[in-house]
Structure 1
Amino acid sequence: MDSVLQFNSPGLETPGFEPPSRWLMLAEARAVYEAGAALALWPLLQMTPRGDGHAVLVLPGLGAGDRSTELMRRFLRSRGYDAQGWGLGQNLGPRAGVEARMLRKLKSLHAARGKVSLVGWSLGGVYARMMASLRPDMVRGVVTLGTPFTGSPRATRAWHIYEKVSGQPAEDSARRQLVTPTPPVPTTSIFSRTDGVVSWRCSVEQPGAAAENIEVLASHLGLGAHPAVFYALADRLAQPQDAWRPFDRSRIGAWVFPDPARAQ
């Protein structure tokens, strides 16, 4: 996989989105309460659709590891999925060998369980879209949480941290060619306009026949442990493999799932 990315490609034009305000960044502390809400609502969340047992590979965000996605994977296992962590320790960006090892993990899960769903949080969603673009034959669908796949990397509050820990520039036209276009599999972007780390505009997918956006009211750090996200994940992953339908937010209401297509 590394060799696939070692080509020269023209940069894509990207809108000049601004990073989230300092007030939104400070409000990220509410992530603790969002996780608490998921635990409090756990019995109700067990009423969400059950899955068919297929494998789900969950990819963490920048600076995080499998521990950060444990509650999410525990929920997905409770709904009948074989939810797997990425098993590569702390996510310090696409350092040497990381992408190749993720692809080997995908191949292994596919060989054992068939097509795999990919769930990626923030930078983990960048990896998910990349793998789905490279190996759509192995991927059942992609769900990203607060992932900046369009716009400038500098429209986040984490780009300088990314450059420091990965040793690579945030602007990367080769990877962008794989990440920005909608993957050729059912794709859902879950985002929040109150995200304090990633400009929500960088997480807006172009709706299509099998591509959609789901908006939630959440912090960036709380997206991986938020009851509304868990509900949406259960609904999306339970879609039949060959009969995907868009998310129906009317079943819960705009106070939980606002209209993502309202005025930008």
Structure 2
Amino acid sequence: MIATAPLTEPAYKAPALGLLMQEGGAFAYMRIAATFGGAVPLSARGSGHKVIVFPGFMASDQSTGRLRRSLNAAGFDSHGWGLGRNRGVTADMLARVHDKIGSLAGVGPISLIGWSLGGLVAREYAKLYPENVRKVVTLGSPFSGDPRANNAWRAYEAIAGHSVDNPPIQTVLHEKPPVPTIAFWSPGDGIVAPEAACGLPGQSDHQIRLDCRHMDFVSKPAAIQAIAAALAE
């Protein structure tokens, strides 16, 4: 949802209407869990490992609240991105992310978790500043294939004010950042084509399947447990 893919990229299809409709209930659960959900018990331990969580399109740090609470309870030092609601990519977005990371970095690189569009932003930041990034974890992020292989691109263009083929930053989405990169994807995703979030060989280092909805990545206990385990590796 940031830039077009080369013609050699596969033409994945957006999820079917039936899957999209199921995201409504998942959205309601996510909103409740983000505000009121308790920390999910995690076996992975963070030992002060710094993490920034990037929200998805039209989401804010509130949406990732349960994920961050769970990570912090397990000893991670997780933070929201602090840039307000994610209304789409802007020309200065990566510079603003850089300022945020600079204020938190201290000693050693930081891990980046990005949900949906947030994962694309995290990958692009890691391409520019790999020395600041320990690893990138994407959650249902469409970095592979056709940028219209999702059910959000029309809304994205209307709100962000630019075509998915003409973003305000230079990027080739499918190119892997030069840091460890883990891609979570789900066959039950009703927003993003599962193939687009999984990617082809070489587009991420590891691909992990979850059986969840798109809105579940930051709220369901099983997803949060898997994310924490990936961070701790």
TM-score w.r.t. length of structure 2 = 0.88
The residue correspondences of 1:206-221 to structure 2 (distance < 5 A) are 206-207=200-201, 211-221=205-215
* Bigger Cα Rg: 1
Q: Is the 8 A contact 1:143 1:188 kept in 2?
A: yes
Deviations 1:183-217 (A, max 9, x none): 11111111111110111110113456x81111111
Give 2:230's aligned residue. Answer: 236
Give 1:57's aligned residue. Answer: 52
Partners of 1:211 and 1:113 in 2: CA distance: 25
Partners of 2:21 and 2:205 in 1: CA distance: 32
The residue correspondences of 1:58-97 to structure 2 (distance < 5 A) are 58-97=53-92
Q: Is the 8 A contact 1:182 1:206 kept in 2?
A: no
Shift of 1:36: 7.8
Shift of 1:10: 9.8
Report the AA paired with residue 209 of structure 2.
E
Give 1:115's aligned residue. Answer: 109
Report the AA paired with residue 74 of structure 1.
R
Shift of 1:74: 0.5
Higher mean Cα deviation, 99-108 or 146-155? 99-108
Partners of 1:172 and 1:194 in 2: CA distance: 29
Q: Is the 8 A contact 2:4 2:146 kept in 1?
A: no
Higher mean Cα deviation, 134-143 or 47-56? 47-56
Give 1:98's aligned residue. Answer: 93
User: For 1:154, what is the secondary structure of its paired residue?
Assistant: coil
Give 2:187's aligned residue. Answer: 193
Q: Is the 8 A contact 1:196 1:220 kept in 2?
A: yes
User: For 1:224, what is the secondary structure of its paired residue?
Assistant: coil
- Runs of at least 4 residues off by over 3 Å: 32-39, 172-176, 205-208
Report the AA paired with residue 150 of structure 2.
T
Partners of 2:58 and 2:4 in 1: CA distance: 29
Partners of 2:144 and 2:42 in 1: CA distance: 34
1:132 is the counterpart of 2:112: no
User: For 1:188, what is the secondary structure of its paired residue?
Assistant: strand
1:17 is the counterpart of 2:12: yes
Report the AA paired with residue 86 of structure 2.
N
Deviations 1:37-82 (A, max 9, x none): 999x968x42411112121010000001001011111011011111
1:164 is the counterpart of 2:158: yes
1:181 is the counterpart of 2:175: yes
Partners of 2:4 and 2:66 in 1: CA distance: 40
Q: Which runs of 5+ in 1 are unaligned?
A: 1-8, 240-264
Higher relative contact order (CA 8 A, sep 6+): 2
Q: Is the 8 A contact 2:115 2:139 kept in 1?
A: yes
TM-score w.r.t. length of structure 1 = 0.78
Q: Is the 8 A contact 2:185 2:194 kept in 1?
A: yes
CA RMSD in angstroms, aligned pairs only:
2.7
Q: Is the 8 A contact 1:155 1:198 kept in 2?
A: yes
Identical amino acids, percent of aligned pairs: 39
Shift of 1:12: 2.0
Shift of 1:29: 2.6
User: For 1:131, what is the secondary structure of its paired residue?
Assistant: helix
User: For 2:14, what is the secondary structure of its paired residue?
Assistant: coil
